[in-house]
């Protein structure tokens, strides 16, 4: 293993040692009505199929990037397990999907994010199996897609590498919570005001803690990406992350 790879593993290990409160933001087990549980599973499955194909193709073309794929999963697992209480008695947390999406694309990150959520549901009681489809759609489908679009858009506009990474990771984080608010509002519309009133309530509550967390996640992702840019240039070139537009 390269010396730089050991440094990355050491960095992730340090994150694992940070104390965590046992709150949960992901939609908990049995919370959604059965029809919405089935719907979100059905919507997520096609993205998982695309994701498996993307990972198989990527690993076949660049087998040396397997370690970096594992790092992306560990990064997402650690960050999404770092929770702070929200005003609802629930919690907010970073998602960690920005790093893996920038490196491997949105569909590959769908699979990685799904596995992260599965492990959290089984090992940390964070989320649930029946709601795994809904949680995966918000964090592992919508989040990565927004990360990818923002990153590509920012680089094409000629913005610096660090700015593009920051905006992509931060907006990807926020989009997950917007989607979760939509899911909850659809399942539990307000008696007065319907979906709109319910969405405004959920999104407003999450925003209090999630906006600062999104900014923090954006900055942390920039730090990790700049580290990789310094010590893992060959891997980033193989993954086509370092483009002409993504300048220093």
Does the pLDDT value for residue 207 go beyond 80? yes
User: 207 Cβ partners below 8 Å, 6+ apart?
Assistant: 177
First to last CA, the chain: 27
Q: Six-digit token pair at 71?
A: 């790092």
| Confidence (pLDDT) at 238 | 83
Q: How far apart are CA 24 and CA 36, in angstroms?
A: 20
Provide mean pLDDT across the span 166-189.
Answer: 93
| Confidence (pLDDT) at 26 | 74
Question: pLDDT, tens digit, for every residue of 93-140?
Answer: 889 999 999 999 999 999 999 999 999 888 877 778 999 999 999 999
| Confidence (pLDDT) at 15 | 41
Q: Which strand (E) or helix (H) includes residue 92?
A: strand 91-92
Question: pLDDT, tens digit, for every residue of 94-105?
Answer: 899 999 999 999
Provide mean pLDDT across the span 32-47.
Answer: 96
Weakest mean pLDDT among 103-107, 139-143, 189-193, 206-210? 206-210
Domain map (residue ranges) of the chain: 26-238
Tell me the fold of 26-238. Arp2/3 complex 21 kDa subunit ARPC3 (1.10.1760)
Q: 155-180 as b/e, with b when 16 or more CB fall inside 10 Å?
A: beeebebbebbbbbbbbbbbbbbbbb
| Confidence (pLDDT) at 23 | 39
Provide mean pLDDT across the span 180-193.
Answer: 90
| Confidence (pLDDT) at 243 | 55
As a whole number, the mean pLDDT across the chain is 84
DSSP state of 65: G
| Confidence (pLDDT) at 7 | 52
| Confidence (pLDDT) at 25 | 55
Question: pLDDT, tens digit, for every residue of 43-57?
Answer: 999 999 999 999 999
Weakest mean pLDDT among 64-78, 88-102, 167-181? 88-102
Does the pLDDT value for residue 235 go beyond 70? yes
């Amino acid at each position: 293993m390269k010396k730089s790879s050991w440094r990355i593993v050491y960095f992730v290990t340090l994150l694992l040692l940070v104390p965590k409160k046992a709150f949960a933001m992901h939609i908990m087990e049995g919370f959604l009505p059965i029809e919405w549980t089935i719907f979100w599973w059905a919507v997520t499955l096609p993205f998982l199929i695309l994701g498996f194909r993307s990972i198989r193709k990527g690993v076949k073309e660049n087998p040396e990037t397997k370690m970096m794929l594992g790092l992306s999963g560990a990064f997402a697992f650690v960050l999404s397990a770092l929770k702070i209480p929200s005003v609802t008695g629930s919690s907010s947390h970073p998602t960690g999907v920005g790093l893996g999406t920038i490196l491997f694309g949105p569909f590959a990150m769908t699979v990685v994010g799904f596995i992260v959520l599965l492990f959290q549901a089984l090992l940390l009681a964070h989320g649930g199996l029946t709601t795994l489809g809904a949680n995966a759609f918000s964090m592992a489908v919508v989040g990565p897609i927004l990360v990818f679009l923002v990153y590509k858009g920012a680089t094409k506009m000629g913005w610096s590498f660090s700015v593009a990474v920051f905006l992509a990771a931060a907006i990807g984080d926020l989009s997950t919570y917007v989607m979760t608010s939509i899911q909850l509002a659809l399942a539990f519309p307000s008696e007065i005001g319907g979906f709109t009133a319910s969405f405004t309530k959920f999104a407003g509550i999450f925003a209090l803690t999630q906006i600062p967390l999104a900014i923090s996640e954006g900055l942390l992702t920039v730090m990790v990406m700049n580290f990789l840019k310094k010590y893992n240039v060959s891997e980033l070139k193989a993954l086509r992350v370092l483009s002409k537009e993504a300048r220093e």
